[in-house]
Every structure is written in C-alpha cells, then in structure tokens.
Amino acid sequence: MVKEERLQLILQHLTRDNRVQLGEMSRLLSVSEDTVRRDIKELDVQGLLKAVRGGAIANSSIPHHYRDRETFDISLKRRIAEKAIPFIKNGQTIFMDGGTSVLAVAQMLPKDLKVTVVTNSFPVADVLEDHPNAEVIFAGGRLYKTAFTTIGQQAIDTVRNVRANIYFFGVSSIHTIGLTARSYEDSLVKRAMVENATQIIALSTLQKIDTAEAFFVCPITKVDTLITEAIPDDEKLQPYRDLGLNVV
C-alpha cells in the first residue's frame, strides 16, 4: 500500500472514531508501528490531526473565528449555560474567557445576582454592561481578532492580581490528556485564569470532546466540573467521570 493510501485510511478512521491507535492501524495497514508513527507525524505537521502517545486524536471541527462561532450550536450553548448558572453565588468573583458558551452564561446571569466578573472578552464585557449588579473588570491588552479577546502580558497581569472563586473555561478542545487552545498567547491567558481560580468549570459541547489543539493549557485533573449539553451519563463522558470530574 502506497503512503498516500495509508494517510487517507488513517484520516478516515480518525473521522469515524475521533482517534487512531498505532497498534490497530499497524494491523489494518499491514505495516510497522514505526511506519504508522511517521505517517501520523506527517499528518500532524499538515495540521490534520494531533499526534499523541500511542496514536493520534482529532482536531476540533468548531469554526475558528468568533463571528462564525457566535451563531454555531446556539441552542446547545444555552443548555450548557442553564446548567452553569446554579454554580454562581452572590458575592463571588468569576473569570470569564472568550468562549461562546461562556458568553451564553453571561447573557443568562440573573439580574439580582451580585458578582464581580473579570474577563478578557469584549462580547462578555458588552453583555454585562447592562447588568445592574455585576461589577466588570476588563483585562486589557492586545486584541486577538479572531476571538474578540485580549492577549499579552497586560491581560495576564490583570488575571494574576485576582483570586477568583470560579473560572468558566470556554473549551476549544478537551481530551483526557488535558485542555488545549488554538493560539499560544490565548493559552497563556487561560492558564493564568486556571492558576488563579479556586474552581474550574469547563463548558464544552460534545463535538469538542476527545479533540485537541496545538497549545496546552492545563491537565484535565485541574478541572473540577465539566458541563455539556448531554445527559451526565452519556457514554462519551465516561472517561472524564473515571478521572474524578463532576460531569453535569
């Protein structure tokens, strides 16, 4: 079998299962695991998958630009936000990043709830401008245009000066290996929020489960609660329950 055929078969299995394993593909393609490993590395360099120990996992298929994401899976994000709201209590300080599921939480925040929101998201700040009891601290910095968020040292310094009760983490990709992001600088801001929050609540549609991007944010064990649109005992979420996450 020529290399181009192997690469195509690897991608077909990845599309079907969201992951491929070296041993399985070695048997299927009748080549050595080293050959499969080299094929996976080539596909990784092309940005078509994410190589991991023992095989590869899929990249997230969610649109990259905020303008495309804001109208994508709206009903699912509202369902996630409805599950997230009960975690918020009066007097808390909350990190909110640029995830569109996080924006749905901001839009649904009860008007009588008194909270302080620290955010690097222009859409979140805009939504909360009209909230009568939400104090908003905006983490300034350089504009990350595809996400309408701020990045850079100024944004990180603002986050590091705050101890938040909750961080609502807008997931780009989540896997049992951890949380990842598409932008290196965005991953640094998210990492600062993780390090300075008592409780990490990851908000993710099922489509982002078991996917990965290039830039590591934190291990999955940092996450306290995972909220999706699915029922908590959905079999796709079992590995996260096994790791001790509160799956809602």
Q: What CATH number does the domain containing 153 carry?
A: 3.40.50.1360
Pairing of strands 142-144, 149-151: antiparallel
Kindly report the CATH number assigned to the domain that includes residue 8.
1.10.10.10
Do residue 107 and residue 178 come from a single domain?
Answer: yes
> What six digits make up the tokens of 6?
């192997």
Walking along the chain (248 residues) 10 residues at a time, the average pLDDT comes out as: 81 76 89 91 80 80 58 83 98 96 96 97 96 97 93 97 98 89 93 98 92 88 97 94 96
Do residue 118 and residue 11 come from a single domain?
Answer: no
3-state secondary structure of 144: strand
Final residue of a domain: which of 39, 57, 75?
57
What is the domain count for the chain? 2
> What pLDDT sits at residue 68?
57
Do residue 210 and residue 98 come from a single domain?
Answer: yes
Do residue 71 and residue 32 come from a single domain?
Answer: no
- Whole-number Å distance between alpha carbons of 53 and 74: 34
Do residue 53 and residue 80 come from a single domain?
Answer: no
Final residue of a domain: which of 14, 37, 57?
57
Final residue of a domain: which of 57, 75, 91?
57
Do residue 111 and residue 21 come from a single domain?
Answer: no
> What six digits make up the tokens of 230?
């699915």
Task: Please give the residue range of the domain that contains residue 88.
Answer: 66-247
Nearest to 39 by CA among 23, 51, 57: 51
Q: Do the beta carbons of residue 159 and residue 139 sit within 8 Å? A: yes
> What pLDDT sits at residue 101?
94
Query: pTM score, two decimals?
Result: 0.78
- Whole-number Å distance between alpha carbons of 109 and 98: 16
Do residue 43 and residue 113 come from a single domain?
Answer: no
Q: Using alpha carbons only, what angle is made at residue 234 by residues 191 and 13, rounded to the nearest 5 degrees?
A: 80
Q: Which residues pair with 20 in a beta bridge?
A: 56
Do residue 129 and residue 199 come from a single domain?
Answer: yes
Do residue 115 and residue 192 come from a single domain?
Answer: yes
Q: Do the beta carbons of residue 132 and residue 111 sit within 8 Å? A: yes
> What pLDDT sits at residue 56?
87
